[in-house]
């Protein structure tokens, strides 16, 4: 039937293929990449979901998807934006050994301090945005053509490996 595809059904087959109604693109089917990076914007974990899924619901899966477990003397820091200001996100980060840095949401009782104020959290989101732009250089990831989510995720992992290789090769050329 017209307009009754898998994307428009709640809990339908579209959810299994990591597609969902894109809230910013007139409800067209879309995909969202959830990305965890280290301090130099190198990708550490990647999760693919439908475009209508909230980021905070995927935090536990993203932290569980890390390839290399952090083993520093102090717990690793996890810088998140205001969209993750929920008790469930803080618990998920603490359960996996991370120290979460999440700025509080604005409310009428506690509005956001003006930019430059010492109580305002510094913006750290640009690190992830740089990594997303590196992923968008791969045409196959910029416009999804694969029907199966595992194929798209596989190409995302190949792109992550290429990004890491290029950055490490460039660092080695500069140091040697």
Query: Nearest CA to 33 among 20, 17, 50, 16?
Result: 50
Low-confidence ranges of the chain (pLDDT < 50): 1
Q: What is the pLDDT of residue 73?
A: 75
pLDDT at 12: 52
Residue with tokens 């140091």: 175
Look at residue 77 in the predicted model and tell me its pLDDT.
86
48-66 pLDDT, tens digit per residue, is 988 888 888 889 999 998 8
134: how many CB neighbours lie within 10 A of its CB?
A: 21
* Residues in the chain, total: 176
Residue with tokens 């909230």: 54
Strands 29-37 and 43-50: antiparallel
Position 70 scores a pLDDT of 64
Chain-centroid distance of CA 131 in Å reads 10
Q: Running DSSP on this structure, what letter comes out for residue 175?
A: H
Q: What is the pLDDT of residue 45?
A: 93
């Amino acid at each position: 039937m017209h307009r009754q595809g898998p994307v428009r059904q709640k809990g339908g087959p579209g959810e299994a293929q990591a597609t969902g109604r894109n809230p910013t693109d007139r409800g067209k089917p879309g995909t969202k990449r959830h990305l965890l990076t280290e301090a130099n914007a190198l990708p550490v974990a990647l999760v693919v979901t439908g475009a209508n899924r909230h980021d905070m619901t995927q935090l536990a899966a993203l932290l569980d998807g890390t390839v290399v477990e952090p083993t520093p003397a102090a717990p690793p820091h996890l810088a998140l934006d205001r969209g993750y200001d929920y008790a469930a996100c803080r618990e998920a980060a603490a359960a996996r050994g991370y120290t979460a840095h999440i700025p509080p949401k604005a409310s009428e009782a506690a509005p956001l301090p003006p930019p430059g104020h010492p109580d305002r959290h510094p913006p750290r989101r640009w690190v992830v945005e740089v990594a997303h732009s590196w992923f968008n250089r791969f045409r196959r990831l910029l416009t999804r053509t694969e029907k199966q989510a595992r194929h798209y995720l596989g190409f995302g992992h190949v792109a992550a490996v290429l990004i890491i290789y290029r950055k490490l090769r460039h660092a080695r050329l500069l140091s040697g």
